[in-house]
Amino acid sequence: MKEISPQGVGIRFIFALILVLLTYNPSGFSFVHWAANAGFAPLVLLAGVALLIGWIIYIRATLRSLGTIGLILAAVFFGALVWLFISWGWISLQEAGGFTWVILIILAAILAIGMSWSHIRRRMSGQMDTDDV
């Protein structure tokens, strides 16, 4: 099995970010906005199913590699990081759109970590994860 690299983690993050931002973003150009305006149409259904497949792949991999405790720890870590940035004045809670972007990027980061964590753990500890057959 091929080793994980920073580029591999970066690619996973980019794809997770694309998935998250295609699903919803505050700019108004997302599946949620499109579906709300277009109504129920075949193309909307096809795009929704494609996004759902992507979400299922990322969520299943994240839950399997991080587990519930790891997922909670990742959320708490990023929550504390956001709180630190708010206390330093780097993030403002007055602008909801900006804060929404931060949350979406964090969600993509958690999904990318979940997709990469088994590789990272194997590299750090030498232990390999396998799925039950």
Distance, CA of 114 to CA of 112 (rounded, Å) = 5
- pLDDT at 133 (0 to 100): 45
Q: What is the pLDDT along the chain (133 residues), one digit of tens a residue?
A: 566 778 988 999 999 999 999 999 999 999 999 999 987 899 999 999 999 999 999 999 999 988 899 999 999 999 999 999 999 999 988 888 889 999 999 999 999 999 888 767 666 666 665 654 4
Can you say whether residue 67 is alpha, beta or left, with left for phi > 0 and alpha for psi between -120 and 50 degrees? left
Structure tokens at 29: 């150009």
- pLDDT at 95 (0 to 100): 84
Count of beta carbons in the 10 Å neighbourhood of residue 47: 17
Q: What is the pTM of this model?
A: 0.83
Distance, CA of 65 to CA of 111 (rounded, Å) = 11
Question: CB–CB of 31/51 below 8 Å?
Answer: yes
- pLDDT at 132 (0 to 100): 47
- pLDDT at 122 (0 to 100): 63
Contacts of 64 (CB under 8 A, 6+ apart): 118, 129, 131
